[in-house]
Amino acid sequence: MPITDAIPPPVADLIEAFSVLPGIGPKTASRLTFHLIRAPEQQAMQLATALKAMVELTTFCSICANITEQDPCEICSDVSRDEHVLAVVEEPLDVVALERTGAFRGRYHVLHGVISPLNGIGPEDLRIEELRLRLRSGEVGEVILATNPGMEGDATAMYLRSVLAEFELRITTLARGLPTGGDIEYVDELTLTRALQGRKE
């Protein structure tokens, strides 16, 4: 008898739902599901309510593609931000990390990933065309390629340099105060501030 036959369908469905998340295999999905079964009902309902609210109340900013409750997002709507400097980042969590430093007062563009042939992700899967459309307005004078240091982040930055060659821009990268192979979202504020200040052509 398959193991799924011994599990009620709602439980099996939740295990399957957890297992499609990145970094969560079948065993972890099962542990999470059975933890929720044993937990107080309020804990499971809190998770369900938060998930429902995230789906219903958040969207992507039509300008920078960051996650937001309003469109355009608060950063794109903030007239005190420097519209001439644009930081291109991989994920919304990178925006959070850079904002924590308080050292960057420009705008953002979120790619939602990196070029990764091994994972079947090409340039067409990222928000690169949207970036080109933004730059055609001529307002941006500097683009900071703030991709994560590492093979895929560097390859994405190299591709973006070739795309941006058609524009008259200052193109900089974050200084290598960032650890190679590390993710921006995990870097401390001081290191990230120094990386911003030491960016280079």
In this structure, the answer to whether residues 105 and 188 fall within a common structural domain is yes
Same domain, 51 and 105: no
Question: Of the residues 42, 57, 72, which one is the last residue of a structural domain?
Answer: 57
Tell me how many degrees the CA angle 154-157-160 measures, rounded to the nearest 5. 155
74 and 21, same domain (yes or no)? no
Cα 119 to Cα 60: distance, rounded to the nearest angstrom:
23
Domain count of the fold of the chain: 2
Q: What's the CA gap between 126 and 163, in Å, rounded?
A: 13
Domain match, 134 and 43 both: no
Q: What is the CATH number of the domain that holds 45?
A: 1.10.8.420
Q: What is residue 82's three-state secondary structure?
A: strand
Residues 42 and 123 in one domain: no
For residues 159 and 183, membership in a common domain is answered with yes
Which residue from 172, 115, 118, 175 is spatially nearest to 149, judged by alpha carbons? 175
User: How many other C-beta atoms are found inside a 10 Å radius of the C-beta of residue 179?
Assistant: 13
Model confidence pLDDT, tens digit, residues 117-149: 988 999 999 999 999 999 998 899 999 999 998
Parent domain of 21: 3-57
Q: Rounded to an integer, what distance in angstroms lies between the CA atom of residue 185 and that of residue 135? A: 26
Pair 53, 76 in one domain: no
If one compares 63 and 5, the residue with the highest pLDDT of the two is: 63
* Residue the block writes with tokens 């500097």: 142
Task: Specify the pLDDT at position 74.
Answer: 96
Which CATH number covers residue 192? Answer: 3.40.1360.10
**For 95-117, how does the pLDDT look when each residue is reduced to its tens digit (9 = 90+)?**
999 999 999 999 999 999 999 99
Burial class (CB in 10 A: 0-12, 13-18, 19+), 19: middle
For 33, which DSSP code? Answer: H
Residues 90 and 170 in one domain: yes
Q: Decide if pLDDT at 42 tops 80.
A: yes
> Quick one: 101 and 179 in the same domain?
yes
Helix (H, G, I), strand (E, B) or coil at 123: helix
Per the model's pLDDT, the better-predicted residue between 175 and 148 turns out to be: 148
Q: Are residues 88 and 9 in the same domain?
A: no
pLDDT over threshold 50, residue 1:
no
